[in-house]
Amino acid sequence: MTKVLVIENEEQTREMLLDFLELEGFKAIGAENGLVGVEKAHTHLPDITICDIAMPKLDGYGVLRTLRQNLDTAIIPLIFLTGRNTKQELRQGMELGASDYLLKPFTPEELLKAIAAQLKRNNIFQQWFAVKSEDIAQSSEPEIDEFAKFATLFASCSQLKAVYEFISSHYQESISLRDVAKHLGFSPGYLTKLVKDHTGEPINQWIIKRRVTAARSLLLETEQSVEQIAEAVGYQSINHFFRQFRQYYGASPKAWRKANRQTYFSLNK
């Protein structure tokens, strides 16, 4: 049964949401403020959290920051409830890693659609991951995409999903550890420990791996110059690109392309 945690300080609203969710077949858990909500999130590990923003003791932003800094709760989708439809508020929540917003007053249908969207999103990723992991495991190629190996680690630590997704979506930009940490609502120190404890390597190393494996594909599949490819995968310095590519593939991008393109085209005719 899907567990939904409702963190709402207005008792009437909270009880109404809990009753409605129970009628819809969810296991609904209530919390009257942010501090209690964080405690119950750690205790029950809900599938989704619905959280008001304006609350005493610990507001919704504080709840989200706290949940994102714990391994067990870091990727639980969180839907904010708010009575204020301001760009600043929306932007602040999304930068911290909120999954969705519902503007009060909302209809039961809007609530169910928001919950269903988050469940569907998680289900799609889990299916993709299962297929991707099997493909990687069965691959007979000696050179497996280095960054794809990161995906297989989700089998033991699903909390890394958001890290993987952010790097995959933004590696072409000039991102760093601090950018990833800010987006996810983690401290840089916590994020460093999280990734290194589960992968054995720091997060900046995974950003590099994503860039060089993307460059590898472009070198094989396109006629773009090495300079164009370096810029396309997020490098501002061509020398930096050459150095990091050589670190992983043992040759300069030009030499590697020359040595591997003929084999690539032969295999993909």
- Domain boundaries along the sequence of the chain: 3-122, 139-267
Q: Which residue shows structure tokens 């094989």?
A: 220
pLDDT of residue 109: 92
- Return the pLDDT at 198: 72
The pLDDT, as a whole number, for residue 133 is 47
The predicted pLDDT at position 139 comes to: 45
| Alpha-carbon span 208 to 175, nearest angstrom | 10
pLDDT at 197: 73
CATH number of 3-122: 2.30.30.90, 3.20.20.480, 3.40.190.10, 3.40.50.2300? 3.40.50.2300
Tens-digit pLDDT profile for the chain (269 aa)?
899 999 999 999 999 999 999 999 999 999 999 999 999 999 999 999 999 999 988 999 999 888 877 767 877 889 999 887 666 666 676 666 677 889 888 999 999 999 998 887 766 655 555 554 455 444 444 344 556 666 655 544 556 778 888 888 899 998 989 999 888 888 888 888 878 777 778 888 889 988 998 998 899 889 999 999 999 999 989 999 999 999 888 899 999 998 887 776 565 55
The pLDDT score that the predictor gives to residue 233 is 93
pTM of the predicted model as reported, rounded to 2 decimal places: 0.54
3-class SS letters over the chain: CCEEEEECCCHHHHHHHHHHHHHCCCEEEEECCHHHHHHHHHHHCCCEEEEECCCCCCCHHHHHHHHHCCCCCCCCCEEEEECCCCHHHHHHHHHHCCCEEEECCCCHHHHHHHHHHHHHHHHHHHHHHHHHHHHHHHCCCCCCCCCHHHHHHHHCCHHHHHHHHHHHHHCCCCCCHHHHHHHHCCCHHHHHHHHHHHHCCCHHHHHHHHHHHHHHHHHHHCCCCHHHHHHHCCCCCHHHHHHHHHHHHCCCHHHHHHHHHHHHHHHCC
Task: Identify whether the C-beta of residue 112 lies closer than 8 Å to the C-beta of residue 91.
Answer: no
**pLDDT value for 144:** 43
In terms of CATH architecture, what is 139-267?
Orthogonal Bundle (1.10)
